[in-house]
Structure 1
Amino acid sequence: MEETRLAKSAIQRVPPSLLKKNPDILSTISLPVKKVYLHIDLDVLDADFVKVNEYCETGGLSPEDLYNAIRTIKRRFGIAAVAFTAYDPTLDPQRKVPEVVGEVVSILTGQV
């Protein structure tokens, strides 16, 4: 049901598999807006890098894939708001996810 609603909406969803196949896909998306809401489900990260939650799977994005995607979105659109979701810190004993989120925030705020 969620997929059906999403398909009927104006939301542009780019699954990790498509982004990995075509890293330039974000450069081709056309939206009639100047700013976007950036929603980052942290389980988009590859489970081989870090297990973010119980739904995390292999084949996701590397941190660098995520950073490059965010840089592209930032270049093309203003970012009005961002949310990070779906993180279970008990599954991340090495605390990799806070490092990734910190880097994303640095990219978004122009600190890197």
Structure 2
Amino acid sequence: MNISIILAAYDSGHFHGGCGQGPDALISGGLAEALKLAGHDVDVHDIGKVVEDEQEREIGTGFAVCNAVSGEVRIALDNGRFPIVLAGNCLTSAGAVAGEGGDAIIWADQHGDLNTPDTSTSGFLDGMALATVLGLCWRRMAAQVPGFKAIDPARCVLVNARDLDPAEKELLEKLPIIRTECPDWAGAAAKLKATGAERIHMHVDLDVHDPEKLQANRYTTPGGPVPEQVRTAMCGLAGPLSIAGLTISAYDPGFDPKGDVPPLVGELVVELLSTMEGR
């Protein structure tokens, strides 16, 4: 398969800080080489620094990253390449969805990312990432991202979200989001396929994992699936569904002193692509 890896090295508006170091660390940890060894043609593109003002606000920078990612994803698809976005922040998936013309999303994350400016108690923009993709907030900002169209919540699969704020729990009782744990991927796949979705974006926040087995960043909650369970679930979902692109987010190498995460991400992506090729 022809692959374009797109690096978006921002975390909360900061270039190469925190999880913004993750994209480069995944590449230096051997992700591109693992894909090449598996027989894929791989090129790597870095969106670089999207704003020059060091005092740029997180919101403006976050959506500038989405704009840049949308363009790179569209170029990849126009060249017949499968886009894989390595991102510091989850909001970046809004740019990938826009570039792909995505009509559904699989969101694997220990958090719901379903807060809005009205419900958030922290003001953390990334805690509103999935809400943005689903058109629940930041509509005017998202509308400026080329190609962005909000995804119907009925076409969203939320995988293993275990750390939810009260407002998110209340929202999930009202919205038709498909919730699942990793072992129950088959039922979720069937429900999403029944919606007629044709261009599905897959988003994997690495903190979905059990931090005892894989700690990707500081935002850890006990429990969660082990890497093998995440791989099985993501590949299981990709088998019967049409995956248009992939985002891997929120890896902070400062919390991975032994470099355990990049090889596990390589295994996940290689197995996922193999599943897609075998469809």
In the other structure, the counterpart of 2:189 is 27
Q: Give % identity.
A: 28
Note the C-alpha offset of 1:86: 0.7
Q: 1:100 to 1:25 in 2, by over 3 A?
A: farther
What is the count of residue pairs matched by the alignment?
Answer: 111
1 CA distance for matches of 2:156 and 2:201? 11
Are the equivalent residues in 2 in contact too, given 1:89–1:95 (CA < 8 A)?
Answer: yes
Q: 1:49 to 1:108 in 2, by over 3 A?
A: same
Moved over 4 A (4+): 3-8
Segments of structure 1 that go 5 or more residues without pairing to the other structure are none
Name the Cα RMSD after superposition: 2.6
Note the C-alpha offset of 1:46: 0.6
Note the C-alpha offset of 1:64: 0.9
Give the one of 107, 114, 122 matched to 1:2. 114
Are the equivalent residues in 2 in contact too, given 1:19–1:25 (CA < 8 A)?
Answer: no
Are the equivalent residues in 1 in contact too, given 2:155–2:197 (CA < 8 A)?
Answer: no
Matched, 1:57 2:201: no
In the other structure, the counterpart of 2:158 is 14
Larger of the two Rg values belongs to structure: 2
Are the equivalent residues in 2 in contact too, given 1:26–1:69 (CA < 8 A)?
Answer: no
Give the one of 233, 243, 246 matched to 1:69. 233
Give the one of 177, 193, 212 matched to 1:48. 212
Are the equivalent residues in 1 in contact too, given 2:214–2:227 (CA < 8 A)?
Answer: no
2 CA distance for matches of 1:76 and 1:23? 11
Higher relative contact order (CA 8 A, sep 6+): 1
- TM-score of the pair, normalised by structure 1: 0.80
